[in-house]
Amino acid sequence: MTEDFRPAEALAARLRARIASEGPLPVSVYMMEALFDPMAGFYATKDPLGAHNDFITAPEISQMFGELIGLWAVECWSQMGSPGKVQLIELGPGTGRMMSDVVRVLRAAPGLINAAEATLVEVSPALKMVQGRTLAGAPVPIRWAPRLEAVRPGPTLLLANEFLDCLPIRQAVKHEGVWRERCVAMHPDESERFAFVLGAALSAPDLARIPAPLRDLPDGSLVELRPADAAVIGALAERLSAYPGYALFIDYGATEPDHGDTLQAIRRHEKVDPLDAPGTADLTAWVAFGALAHAALDAGLQVFGPAGQGPFLKGLGLDVRAALLAKAQDTAGRARLARQTARLSAPEEMGALFKVIAFASPGLAPPPGLDRFVPHETAAQE
Ligand code: SAH
């Protein structure tokens, strides 16, 4: 325990020193440091994923998740005309569990298993080690890249589960009619603690990034901006305009433009204060699926979804897969599969809050399980 907290104390001290010299730090900077500081960042230093750690994600709940995504990828590859070389890219692969379940399924498509080269886009040295161990016997070559832009060129199948939610967000609060950047500073009464404060007014280009229906909200309202999503979509659009490909993102969030503070911190399965002991809790925020879809359309991509994770997985055959696996199980094993199915797909669990959205190169057919995104008035930017 004390071991865990020593680097965190050093990170808090570095943040305090930075605030003293630079002034309050935008929420995005705080989030970046707390997650990715090389010495004490939450992702940079440890393996936070899995049942016994800080939180559990869909691929860690059940092998069925990655297997169904693998089937999705097989179908997309054939819709691309079964190219003889394909980059199977995963953004933020965590423990590597999903990729290992995906490539196991690709064995069923011999043409694809010979064509595929997997590239894991990961920033955390600690998680890269874990991924290397998980994928040691994988039936396809495995590489790593620090960014999507650095992945080898070529036809593409890209997967990302719970990647966008940990990209740093900005928050803006309306105060006396003016949208201002929400920042982190030291607490006025307790010099060791961090506190939220209001920083500078947003610039005109930043204001334009607030979806039109939210701009006139009353004083006290909070909106979130996701500048890092735009960078991911830009890199993806560049790649998918040069080579045929599909990309699948699964994450939690809202479809319609929404407001309110969604920044949350999870430490050992408990919600905690995001400003308490930076680096010791996972920080995430809701993905804005509507804004993401519009950004992708503007970048020239085809957009499919968003759909709830539950209907999407069921459409890909979750129940059939569970029934097949259940045949080889005893009563306890069957109950476990039923629990996994419910956790992944029931609306009151991950089935509705988690959503799936896909992007494709112009000209490709819709991917399995998702309908074409139809933009509508309220979501449109001015
Ligand atoms: N997809 C996994 C892990 C989700 S956690 C799962 O579902 O279990 C988020 C992952 O994204 C971690 O592996 C984290 O280190 C990685 N990550 C976060 N920001 C990143 C970035 N900018 N570039 C590459 N990887 C990143």
Tens digits of residue pLDDT in 153-193:
999 999 999 999 999 999 999 999 999 999 999 998 888 89
Task: Write the DSSP symbol of residue 84.
Answer: S
Of the two residues 259 and 372, the one the predictor is more confident about is 372
Residue 229 scores a pLDDT above 70: yes
3-state helix, strand, coil in the chain (%, to 5): 40, 25, 35
Note the pLDDT tens digit of each residue in 233-264.
999 999 999 999 999 999 999 998 888 999 99
N-term to C-term CA, the chain:
51
Inter-residue contact 302 to 372 (CB < 8 Å): yes
Q: How far apart are CA 252 and CA 356, in angstroms?
A: 9
pLDDT at 351: 96
Distances (CA, A) of 56 to 49, 128, 269, 311, 325: 6, 18, 8, 21, 22
Task: Examine the pLDDT at 353 and tell me if it is beyond 50.
Answer: yes
| pLDDT at res. 377 | 58
In 255-353, the DSSP E strands lie at 264-267, 270-272, 282-284, 287-288, 302-308
Assess contact for 103 and 130: CB atoms under 8 A.
no
What does CATH list as the number for 1-382? 3.40.50.12710
What is the distance between the alpha carbons of residues 77 and 115, in angstroms, rounded to a whole number? 10
Ligand 1, closest atom to CA 165? 9
One-letter identity of residue 330: D
Contact at 8 Å (CB) between 286 and 262?
yes
Compute the distance between CA of residue 109 and CA of residue 112 in angstroms, rounded to an integer. Answer: 5
CA of 326 to the centre of ligand 1 (A): 31
* Residue 279 in this model has a pLDDT that exceeds 60: yes
| Residue 342 Cα to ligand 1 middle (Å) | 25
Ligand 1 pocket, residue 166 CB under 6 Å: yes
Whole-number Å distance between alpha carbons of 140 and 138: 6
- CB of 57 within 6 A of ligand 1: the answer is yes
pLDDT of residue 381: 45
**Which segments within 122-177 are labelled E, that is strand?**
142-145, 156-161, 170-175
Q: What is the pLDDT of residue 8?
A: 84
Q: Are strands 156-161 and 86-91 parallel, antiparallel or unpaired?
A: parallel
**Three-state DSSP class for 89?**
strand
CA–centroid distance for 70 within its chain: 18
Q: Summarize pLDDT for 82-138 with one digit per residue, the tens.
A: 999 999 999 999 999 999 999 999 988 889 999 999 999 999 888 999 999 999 999
Q: Which range (47-51, 70-74, 351-355, 367-371) has the least confidence? A: 47-51
Nearest to 194 by CA among 36, 4, 25: 25
Is-contact 300 362, C-beta < 8 A?
Answer: yes
Tell me the C-alpha to C-alpha distance, in Å, between residue 38 and each of 8, 32, 43, 131, 285.
11, 11, 9, 18, 21
Length of the chain: 382
Mutation probe of ligand 1 site: the residue of 122, 226, 249, 252 with most atoms within 8 A of C-beta: 122
> What CA–CA distances, in Å, run from 137 to 83, 101, 124, 143?
24, 12, 21, 13
CA distance linking residue 340 with residue 337, whole number of Å:
5
Q: Indicate if the pLDDT at residue 3 is higher than 50.
A: no
Q: What is the pTM of this model?
A: 0.94
Widest Cα–Cα separation across the chain: 65
Please tell me the predicted confidence (pLDDT) of residue 78: 96
Counting ligand 1 atoms within 8 A of each CB, the residue from 32, 129, 163 with the most, and so the one to mutate, is 163
Domain ranges in the chain are 1-382
Per-residue DSSP letter, 276: S
Lowest-pLDDT range, 37-51, 138-152, 349-363?
Answer: 37-51
